[in-house]
Amino acid sequence: MNASSRRIVETVVLAGTAVLLLGHGGNIPTCFTYAATSRTYNVVGTCGPAGVITVATTPCAVTVTGDDVGLPSSGNLGATLDDGFDLYGSINSDWDLECGAGSASRVDAGAAGTLLLTCGRHPSPSNPAVSNDPVDWCQAQLVPVTPTCDIHACAPVTCSSQEHTAFAASGCCPTCVANGPNDIIPVPPPPVCHRETCPQSCPAGQEFMATGACCDTCKAPAQQCLDGRAQWRTEVQDRWASARACATDADCTISTVGSQCETACPGAIATDQIAALASWAAMRGTELCASCDTTPPGCPAVPPSRPACTNGACVTIGL
């Protein structure tokens, strides 16, 4: 679920909860008890250019209009607007952006009603990133617009990539300050690897080789590698044949072994022989296929089957 969908669901759930509680004489969510209102703020910080925005409320939700200061345009409201709010947006289609604005008690000499807003990014549901932990993205100071404090009355400022906007020591006009080690500065998120867009096969005579990039590349395996695989395959088949002895069906299973050469196709084997065969196959593959740096095609699909013991040997039987 993306941020926009999550926000809609949260608001619908709150609305449904309010109706249910009212019908049963219960308490409705706090955000429904306050009339719609709006606040206009001067905005400076690391999220984007300095500017002026207006934050307007509807029951349990907010919308943001005005200058593009790098903030999402909508979100949720927990109580009163002066208590703070949350905003939801995205950084391209791969990263969700979540911002929380609250009391700016940590802001030196903050005017009444000043809010401190911090944004973090985390992978969207379609993003195959390993960690879903949020990463700090940016921070902004929101100071209410008054007749004596309005960025629109100030001379515009343009900061370099090594700077961000802040309020000058006196007055309400923005100035550029150098990015400090403790400032939350937006850093381009890492590229997302969507492997479904990578080539799914290689030209004849070539195999996939991992390069550390999103998509593997195709390469023809060396003849030494092909010869090593052929020898490994023959030796594995010989050892497998002697690892199928059984007395009952319970002695058998279907398994496989692999090595640097390749992975053998699944076959019936005695359960107590798997560990020994796997250990030998891996070691022998290291000896024979040191030159292999590509991955051979996988095994063909086979019909569903089960292991069985027939004439003292494990075999596979179709289901």
SS (H, E, C) 268-301: EEEHHHHHHHHHHHHHHHHHHCCCCCCECCCCCC
Q: Is residue 196 part of a domain?
A: no
Got the DSSP string for 48-104? SS-EEEEEEEETTEEEEEES--S--SEEE-SS-GGG-EEEEEEETTTEEEEEEEEE-
Same domain, 163 and 225: no
237 and 170 co-located in one domain: no
Give residue 166's domain range.
Answer: 3-189
Domain count, the chain: 2
Distance CA 267, CA 140 (A): 62
Q: Are 135 and 216 found together in one domain? A: no
Q: Quote the pLDDT of residue 8.
A: 44
At 63 the pLDDT is: 95
CA 4/CA 154 separation, integer angstroms: 34
The pTM (predicted TM-score) of the whole model is: 0.59
Domain C-terminal end among 161, 189, 217 = 189
Residue 83: predicted pLDDT: 84
Does residue 194 lie within any of the structural domains? no
Within a domain: 227? yes
217 and 289 share a domain? yes
Q: Are residue 222 and residue 129 in the same domain, yes or no?
A: no
Answer with the one of 122, 154, 189 that is the final residue of a domain: 189
| Closest-CA residue to 45 (of 148, 150, 115) | 115
Residues 181 and 85 reside in one and the same domain: yes
Beta bridge partners of 144: 41
Of 140, 162, 189, the position where a domain reaches its end is 189
Are 161 and 303 members of one domain? no
259 within some domain: yes
Residues 60 and 179 in one domain: yes
Q: Is residue 195 part of a domain?
A: no
User: What's the maximum distance between 2 C-alpha atoms anywhere in the chain?
Assistant: 97
Residues 184 and 265 in one domain: no
Q: Do 87 and 223 share a domain, yes or no?
A: no
198 within a domain of the structure (yes/no) = no
Tokens representing 279?
């250990």
Q: Are residues 40 and 143 in the same domain?
A: yes
What pLDDT score does 66 carry?
A: 96
The reply to whether 286 and 220 lie within a common domain is yes
Task: Give me the pLDDT at residue 20, please.
Answer: 38
Phi and psi at residue 196, to the nearest 5°: -65, -15
Could you tell me if residue 269 is inside a domain?
yes
Residue 274: inside a domain, yes or no? yes
pLDDT 10s digit of each residue in the chain, 319 long? 444 445 544 444 344 434 333 344 445 556 767 788 899 999 999 999 999 999 999 888 999 999 999 999 999 987 788 888 999 999 888 899 999 999 865 444 456 789 999 999 998 887 877 677 789 999 999 999 999 999 999 999 999 999 999 998 877 899 999 999 999 999 888 888 878 888 889 999 999 998 888 889 999 999 999 999 999 999 999 999 999 999 999 999 999 999 999 999 999 999 999 999 999 999 999 999 999 999 998 888 888 999 999 999 999 998 8
